[in-house]
Amino acid sequence: MCTEGASDHWVVGTESPPPAPVGKRYCKCYAQASKLLKSAFAAMTALKSPSPKAIRPDINWLDLPWLVFLAGLAILPPLWEVHKQLVLAALAAVQLSESWMVRRDPKRGPTYAVALKLLLATVLIDHTGELSINSSYYPIYYLPVITAALYFSPLVTLLWTLLASAAYSSYLLPALEEYSLDASGFTILAIRIFFFFLVAMVVNRVVVESRRQSRSYQLLAEQLTETNRQLERAQAETRRSERLAALGQLTAGLAHEIRNPLGIIKGSAEMLGQKVANTNPLAAELAGYISSEVNRLSALVSRFLTFARPLQPELALQDLASSLDRSLKAVQDQWHGEPVLVQRDLPAGLPLVLMDATLCEQVFVNLIQNAFEAMSDAGGGGTLRLRVATANSNGRDGIEVTMQDSGPGIPPALREQIFNPFVTTKSAGVGLGLSIVSQIMDEHHGTIRLLDDTGAGAGFVLYFPLAPDGDPSAEANAL
């Protein structure tokens, strides 16, 4: 179609075109192309492009066939047109550095790549035909068009294709100075331009579709990760239950063995106390101590058993602040470590809470004991702040107890685990305290949470709802 024969030319005329000096023609077409590019450039960079990393691999081994095809073009006529060869070499360089450009500047890299290819395509057309508009190399415009389709949204791809079509059509102007454009010539030009758009849209469609698919895969992967996380949590819960079940068996056996001798010790101490009540008051007092300590031990064994077995709290409306006060006294009475200053903010007259006082005292004792131990272990005592106040959680009224100590705080690695059984940092610790606490809070339909690490010691917040829902027996007990 683009041979020298006049009948094959779709821009036809009566005269042969005067051969323009090569340098002059080059400058002219360069000026045309750069003018067009300049105006489009600013508009295109302003439009947001999708992340190109998702589309192009880092190591682009597909560039090798590219080079082979460009070399193929280089050995086709016009063979001795140095500008053509230079432009092909420049196209190869742009292609090879495209991934690098895009990586280096993901926002503007694709724009640079498309603009350079468009510019080089326009220059190539100018050096591959007597009449540039007739050049057989016009499909070179597919390069910028397809590159734009790979990186940009459909609208921006259309704009780039429009620009490529304008750049190509601009060669019509110098040709029309010498020739006229007949109907079939116009048709051929229109067909070529429509193909630019067709290719751009087809490639862009594929790319958009693959982006959509990769997004849905990503979503699926996120869902799978979340499911996996839930599964891991469930497995951890199961492991914890298994450990608790094993512990239950152990405690049941131990309790049986310990309770019998305890019963004998208690009975003997009481008998001894009665026998020497009148003759030896000191011995009677000591027997009383033995008896009360045995009671405490029995209670402990029972608590240990209740930890392993389902709790059955006996809920009744109680004053939480006074329960906390009693627990504090119990810990202080038997505390032999560094002196601890306790700041209490326990207002009177707060609403009563449905609670099992014994279990809740166990909660408070465990937490206060932990705080005392942590501050004492850190050396030099410290301050424990206790605060009780009304609170609202998820629309439910309740009472909140805040305990904040000035100790070393909970190590970050432990924060997730401290409510699990057997997690302890103490050489003589069992690691059951906080898991019992969390179990008791569950029974009260309450919550326990660790305050954020502010570097000022450990802080726990307990929330007790005023009227636990879903537990009619509890409300019945309270009446």
Ligand X SMILES: Nc1ncnc2c1ncn2[C@@H]1O[C@H](COP(=O)(O)OP(=O)(O)O)[C@@H](O)[C@H]1O
- Interface residues with ligand X (CB under 6 A) are 366, 370-371, 374, 405, 407-410, 414, 418, 423-426, 429-434, 458
Q: Least distance from C-beta 471 to ligand X, angstroms?
A: 26
Give me 255's structure tokens.
């309790």
Of 156, 138, 182, 259, nearest in space to 12 by CA: 182
Q: Give the whole-angstrom CA distance, residue 359 versus residue 436.
A: 9
Q: How many CB atoms lie within 10 A of CB 342?
A: 15
With CB atoms as reference, the residue minimizing the distance to Mg ion is 433
Q: Do 85 and 96 touch, CB atoms closer than 8 A? A: no
With CB under 5 to 8 Å by kind, the binding choice for 324 among ligand X, Mg ion, none is none
Question: Which residues ranging from 409 to 438 are in contact with Mg ion (CB under 5 A)?
Answer: 433
Q: Which residue has the tokens 């903010």?
A: 345
Q: Which is nearer to ligand X, 280 or 424 (CB)?
A: 424
Q: How many CB atoms lie within 10 A of CB 27?
A: 11
Q: Which is nearer to ligand X, 131 or 374 (CB)?
A: 374
Q: Which is nearer to Mg ion, 66 or 422 (CB)?
A: 422
By rule CB under 5 A, what string of x and - marks binding of each residue 363-392 to Mg ion?
A: -------x----------------------
Q: Verify cis geometry, omega within 30 degrees of 0, for the bond prior to 261.
A: no
Q: Which is nearer to ligand X, 272 or 434 (CB)?
A: 434
Q: Which is nearer to ligand X, 163 or 418 (CB)?
A: 418
Backbone phi, then psi, for 381, in 5-degree steps?
60, -155
Q: Do 189 and 171 touch, CB atoms closer than 8 A? A: no
With CB under 5 to 8 Å by kind, the binding choice for 426 among ligand X, Mg ion, none is ligand X
Alpha helices in 105-153 (DSSP H): 109-126, 142-151
Q: Least distance from C-beta 366 to Mg ion, angstroms?
A: 5
Q: Which is nearer to ligand X, 162 or 378 (CB)?
A: 378
Of 354, 358, 363, 387, nearest in space to 466 by CA: 354
With CB under 5 to 8 Å by kind, the binding choice for 124 among Mg ion, ligand X, none is none
> Parallel, antiparallel, or unpaired: how do β-strands 340-345 and 382-393 relate?
parallel
Q: Least distance from C-beta 312 to ligand X, angstroms?
A: 22
Q: Least distance from C-beta 433 to Mg ion, angstroms?
A: 3
Q: Least distance from C-beta 425 to ligand X, angstroms?
A: 3
Report which DSSP code applies to 378. Answer: T
With CB under 5 to 8 Å by kind, the binding choice for 37 among Mg ion, ligand X, none is none
Q: Give the whole-angstrom CA distance, residue 434 versus residue 373.
A: 14
Q: Which is nearer to ligand X, 88 or 410 (CB)?
A: 410
Q: Least distance from C-beta 436 to Mg ion, angstroms?
A: 9
With CB under 5 to 8 Å by kind, the binding choice for 49 among Mg ion, ligand X, none is none
Q: Least distance from C-beta 373 to Mg ion, angstroms?
A: 7
Give me 228's structure tokens.
């996996």
By rule CB under 5 A, what string of x and - marks binding of each residue 110-139 to Mg ion?
A: ------------------------------
Q: Which is nearer to ligand X, 153 or 420 (CB)?
A: 420
With CB under 5 to 8 Å by kind, the binding choice for 407 among Mg ion, ligand X, none is ligand X
Q: Least distance from C-beta 241 to Mg ion, angstroms?
A: 21
Establish if 362 lies at the interface with Mg ion (CB under 5 A): no
Q: Least distance from C-beta 476 to Mg ion, angstroms?
A: 33
Q: Give the whole-angstrom CA distance, residue 11 versus residue 36.
A: 23
With CB under 5 to 8 Å by kind, the binding choice for 468 among ligand X, Mg ion, none is none
With CB under 5 to 8 Å by kind, the binding choice for 423 among ligand X, Mg ion, none is ligand X
Ramachandran sector of residue 16 (left: φ over 0; alpha: ψ -120 to 50; beta: rest): beta
Q: How many CB atoms lie within 10 A of CB 249?
A: 10
Q: Which is nearer to ligand X, 149 or 375 (CB)?
A: 375
With CB under 5 to 8 Å by kind, the binding choice for 424 among Mg ion, ligand X, none is ligand X
Q: Least distance from C-beta 408 to ligand X, angstroms?
A: 6
> Parallel, antiparallel, or unpaired: how do β-strands 353-355 and 382-393 relate?
unpaired
Q: Do 312 and 356 touch, CB atoms closer than 8 A? A: no
Cβ-based neighbours of 422, under 8 Å, separated by 6 or more:
243, 430, 431, 432
Report which DSSP code applies to 352. Answer: P
Q: Which is nearer to Mg ion, 268 or 424 (CB)?
A: 424
Q: Do 461 and 452 touch, CB atoms closer than 8 A? A: no
Q: Which residues bind Mg ion (CB under 5 A)?
A: 370, 433
